Structure 1
């Protein structure tokens, strides 16, 4: 079948190959971007090791410290709301820079704080910063990397979050909390400086009709000897076809052509959060203690497992594909939740008292390791790939807000659920994780090895048909 054409130019030729590979510029730009992911992880991991020291030094009550911890999530929801608009208006680099300024101000305020309200304000500022970073980092990486490397490089976002959390947990054991906060500001400064040396996203430049800068950024990213003509033409043509849709409103996201993209993006985030990940992350110590197992040993075992599993996920994202990793990961979290719930059920029934704590450890470790393999990072990879550039800002903000709202609901409600029924709580998580496998199998596309334009055209066929003159059969043939 002949490749569909608009204005006598091929649109999204299925034989298109993005120029270049893992050039030094792509690697360095990705490292600078994921410094923001590391900041994200440090922010999440700070509160647990700092709790006892802050309460003791500042005379805080447990309620005051709980407010301190929760204000970051509230700030992150606000940051997520504005993240897409900020990244669309000022660019991906400037959005990351603004985020780091907010985080630096927050970390330094924690270092100097002597009263509770200043701590809360500082934590809120950090929350806004990481709310923006949670969207813009994976989007920037997806927009600068060649399609054959995009999954692996974007998955590094979750790897660095995991590394940031783990670092804070480990060094927080021996370092005073003010020094720990000062250390948290270091990766912020590293990214802030690094942003001066990386190119802007070529697709953002194209969206803003800065065509020469778009080509210059592509040459820099793909190598000056690489032939970028086909990739640049595809980006330009796809962007021009969507140009009249660039001024989008929130209601536009719910048009028929975006139904599948929105369902996949929001659905993955809802299932990720309501599967119980933050219940495990925030309350692992109390879960282990409730199950009768050493919390210190359990947490160290979790850290030792999460990092290598996240590394494995990063390596496999472009080889195994997104869908297999998601389904295997969700199935593993389903089994892990079931085993943990079974452990609590045995305790309630006063049966197998010797083995129940071990069963809880196995369940939590299986959940944590399986989550790190796919459900932790791959939903963010897919989110960065499936939305067209004209709605990416709004859609990305909505997806990030859903993620942070789910995080807050689970972290706030988990203790109430455990008070109702510990086994019932984990069996609910088990059911949600099981439904994730079905959701991925039925709705989530495989995006491995396809350009962003190809993915978006295949997932939004009505838009492509209406505005580029392409039929459904042609789009299916290209996909």
Structure 2
């Protein structure tokens, strides 16, 4: 506190026009508008990083993105490990499918809790809480002697992932300036794909127990990283912590940036919300709330019913069914392609816009899934000795690759971005929990049924996914607004 007091004195002595000094806990600082005195006292590399607005926001985004890497690693873990875990622990296919789907069950519980956790202890505190069960869960899996330990560890991982899946896109949307919000928001999905790819890659070389130990790394880095990033300024404003709110926004936008316009806009947006205000389910009946919530839930549910998690969780087995001999290598290649495609989305989002990319993405998904369905149907009707059989294997592989690319170009990242953009700040905790719960519930349905459906009929499975994807195109065209280039407050006012 003595150091904080000296910062205040420097600010007062340095200029009669100094802004009121701010306070934030952790690695934050009180500061005046004169940057020189503060920088001299801090003398640290972290303060240098936070000088520039874009560098500051990108740094905060990259730290938060460690959470989605954990998310992706959890999703990808079951694909390369299926055969080894079944052999080592004597599981059946249905027991392993149950293990794979339990992360979604845990995520549903995490989703229910995530809104309230994020509202009462903030976005940073939520990520801290989410990291702990993830670490414990991976340790339990790595030492598992039977299926009960596997199930327990998977549930704990899922809980952490459920909280992360809500909090990270919300945090990024709330700290990003409007001209960078699309690109930074898509970093969430990019990180998920990186986590998937790493699980596929390491799964080629290491035992499943060692792979579980490697799963601990993202969260063990995230926990100390959280001490070096600010809390969401919009959450601070909503909680009535106006001094800390201005601190957070000033550091995110740069020490010499005039933030008065943005400060006033955010204050006006949260003006009717107090720290003790309670939002009830009955409040969601108002159009300004139910309509954006309907869009958010619709996109997140349809995202999962495209079948993406069924493909990613059990990619190796799908490739085997398609006649690909090196199925694990093909799975890793699929993960690498997904990373590249999502990186392209990161570049395109603030240029092409959310709505256009969603229409292109969902249309391409529908076509690629149709190709896969047709290829699997034809494989059943012809002999393996036929010259056409290898071609159909290649066609199904190309269709799956096209599906993952198309998904990554829009439907993977954009629903989470739009959900975090269109929900008003005073209902974001409750409504965001509902939307995230809906996403994980449908994800559980897909992952629980994918193996069983594929055993029934590969062609029939992908036909079902094709029909849902065609409906998604219509949903986007009819209901989804464009949010590119608009502040969060402008977007939320538009629903009134």
TM-score, length of structure 2 as denominator length: 0.85
Match of 2:400 among 360, 364, 380: 364
1:180 corresponding residue in structure 2: 211
CA–CA separation in structure 1 for the residues paired with 2:491 and 2:434:
20
1:471 corresponding residue in structure 2: none
2:258 corresponding residue in structure 1: 227
Greater CA deviation, 24-33 or 54-63? 54-63
1:350 and 2:382 correspond: yes
Is the Cα–Cα contact under 8 Å of residues 115 and 432 in structure 2 kept in the other structure?
Answer: yes
Match of 1:277 among 308, 313, 333: 308
1:450 corresponding residue in structure 2: 486
Q: How does 1:19-418 map to 2 (within 5 A)?
A: 22-243=53-274, 246-294=277-325, 295-296=327-328, 298-350=330-382, 352-418=388-454
1:433 and 2:465 correspond: no
Residues 314 and 94 of structure 1: CA distance in aligned 2, closer, same or farther (over 3 Å): same
Residues 55 and 423 of structure 1: CA distance in aligned 2, closer, same or farther (over 3 Å): closer
SS at match of 1:355: helix
Is the Cα–Cα contact under 8 Å of residues 203 and 214 in structure 1 kept in the other structure?
Answer: yes
TM superposition shift of 1:149:
0.3
Residues 50 and 355 of structure 1: CA distance in aligned 2, closer, same or farther (over 3 Å): closer
Is the Cα–Cα contact under 8 Å of residues 98 and 448 in structure 2 kept in the other structure?
Answer: no
CA RMSD of the aligned region, Å? 2.0
Residues 446 and 431 of structure 1: CA distance in aligned 2, closer, same or farther (over 3 Å): same
CA–CA separation in structure 1 for the residues paired with 2:77 and 2:84:
12
After superposition, give the CA deviation of every residue in 1:247-304 in whole Å (9 maximum; x if it has no partner).
1112322333223201210110121111221222123233333233333453243123
After superposition, give the CA deviation of every residue in 1:178-235 in whole Å (9 maximum; x if it has no partner).
2222211111011100111111100000111000100011111111100011101110
CA–CA separation in structure 2 for the residues paired with 1:169 and 1:297:
8
TM-score, length of structure 1 as denominator length: 0.88
TM superposition shift of 1:115:
3.6
TM superposition shift of 1:64:
4.1
After superposition, give the CA deviation of every residue in 1:110-150 in whole Å (9 maximum; x if it has no partner).
23333432222121111100000000000001001101001
Greater CA deviation, 300-309 or 52-61? 52-61
Which consecutive residues of structure 1, in runs of 5 or more, have no partner in the other structure?
1-19, 462-479
CA–CA separation in structure 1 for the residues paired with 2:184 and 2:306:
25
Residues 354 and 105 of structure 1: CA distance in aligned 2, closer, same or farther (over 3 Å): closer
CA–CA separation in structure 1 for the residues paired with 2:494 and 2:410:
23
2:30 corresponding residue in structure 1: none
Residues 422 and 59 of structure 1: CA distance in aligned 2, closer, same or farther (over 3 Å): closer
Is the Cα–Cα contact under 8 Å of residues 82 and 96 in structure 2 kept in the other structure?
Answer: yes
CA–CA separation in structure 1 for the residues paired with 2:67 and 2:182:
18
After superposition, give the CA deviation of every residue in 1:417-446 in whole Å (9 maximum; x if it has no partner).
345543333222222212222211221111
Which consecutive residues of structure 2, in runs of 5 or more, have no partner in the other structure?
1-50
SS at match of 1:317: helix
CA–CA separation in structure 2 for the residues paired with 1:420 and 1:173:
28
Is the Cα–Cα contact under 8 Å of residues 386 and 456 in structure 1 kept in the other structure?
Answer: yes
TM superposition shift of 1:61:
4.6
Is the Cα–Cα contact under 8 Å of residues 55 and 65 in structure 1 kept in the other structure?
Answer: yes
Greater CA deviation, 196-205 or 108-117? 108-117
CA–CA separation in structure 2 for the residues paired with 1:321 and 1:21:
26
CA–CA separation in structure 1 for the residues paired with 2:301 and 2:101:
19
- Alignment: residue pair count: 441
Residues 429 and 61 of structure 1: CA distance in aligned 2, closer, same or farther (over 3 Å): closer
